[in-house]
Amino acid sequence: MRRESRFVIVGLGLLGGAYARALRKAGYSRVAAIDLSQEALDFALREGYVAEGLTKGFGPLLEQADYLIFSLYPTALIQWVETHGAHLRPGCLCTDVCGVKEGLVQRVQQLLPAGVEFIASHPMAGKELSGVQNAHLVDFAPANFLITPTERNTPEGLAFARQLAAVLGFAHVRVLSPAEHDRMIGYVSQLTHAIAVSLMCAPGAESFAAYTGDSFRDLTRIARINDKMWAELFLWNRENLTEEIDGFAARLEQLKNFLQAGDRAGLEAMFRASTAARAAFDIKEKER
């Protein structure tokens, strides 16, 4: 990643904007963006996130790209590559920000022209807010940057993903397969969103606003959700997420059974188990 390299970001939403902003702050001046919204591009140009932005006629721009970052939903990413991928020249390295990988990574790699490499990655640094106007709220430093290579990827591709993570400011980089990624994300991200949404969709949930404490606010912060994006992510990972929901429902049912039976010892044992698990989690967080 040379300072004179040309970056093209496809999709200038929250993370696309945050990538552009971070790259420019790191001294990469040739950052361009492609987006359907002229308003989003105008904002990014005005704020100095990008040097150039286009909504159409971007074939020549793609032909000059050294690095391409897809900030699109999975289905839109595949459709975009099918329509515009032929413009990319051999040697171009591509990555993405998608929250699901299986079925996506392999398909994109198959569609791209010979000599164009796609090394998938996932910055786990999203916010409940969306849009490039909120890109300044994204903090990459404490977040995990996940790289999901396949047998098609080269050492150069992996090195690019690692360097990109470092330039963006990520302190924690992990490498795992697309299948491992989706199993993990079904639990640590998608299940937590499903629980938060379910809590807020309870009848009359808004009527408790005047009485809630930190626990409810913390649990439901992510229920303020991008409906289109999360519906797509849930559906793309439906098997893993369904399995995690079943597992969570079983644990919740166990707790309910302790309640119904008046089993204080069972409740206390479950609470001790959760406290120990959380303590172990906190230790690992501090050690990373």
* Three-state SS at 14: helix
**How much is the pLDDT for 100?**
97
Our CA angle for 39, 43, 49, nearest 5°, is 135
**Residues 188-235 pLDDT 10s:** 999 999 999 999 998 887 777 777 778 888 888 899 889 999 999 999
The domain boundary residue, chosen from 176, 203, 233:
176
Average pLDDT rounded to a whole number, residues 251-268: 98
Same domain, 141 and 223: no
Query: In terms of domains, do 165 and 188 share one?
Result: no
Both tokens of 242, joined, read 């369904």
- Which structural domain, as residue segments, surrounds residue 226? 181-287
Domain assignment present for residue 148? The answer is yes
User: Does 216 lie in the same domain as 127?
Assistant: no
Q: Is residue 2 part of a domain?
A: no
120-123 and 144-148 strand pairing = antiparallel
Are residues 41 and 132 both part of a single domain? yes
216: exposed, middle or buried (C-beta count within 10 Å: 0-12, 13-18, 19+)? middle
Q: For residue 234, what are the β-bridge partners?
A: none
DSSP-assigned beta bridge partners for residue 92: none
On whether the pTM is more than 0.85, the answer is yes
Is residue 127 scored above 90 in pLDDT?
Answer: no
CA-nearest of 90, 92, 91, 74 to 82 is 74
Per-residue confidence (pLDDT) for residue 204, from 0 to 100 = 80
| 244 and 203 inside one domain | yes
- What 3-state class would DSSP assign to 171? coil
Check: CB of residue 49 under 8 Å from CB of residue 20.
yes
214 & 263 share domain: yes
Contact 158, 93 (CB under 8 A): no
Domain of 141, CATH number, reads 3.40.50.720
Domain boundary among 142, 176, 210: 176
User: Domain boundary at 136, 161, 176, which?
Assistant: 176
pLDDT per residue over 14-35, tens digit each?
999 999 999 999 999 999 999 9
Residues 100 and 193 in one domain: no
Domain count, the chain: 2
The answer to whether residues 234 and 192 belong to one domain is: yes
Q: Which residues contact 175 (CB under 8 A, 6 or more apart)?
A: 146, 147, 148, 149, 158
Helices 238-260, 264-287: crossing angle, 10 deg rounding:
140
Instruction: Kindly state the average pLDDT of the residues 251-280.
Output: 97
What CATH number does residue 281 fall under?
Answer: 1.10.3660.10
Q: Are residues 110 and 145 in the same domain?
A: yes
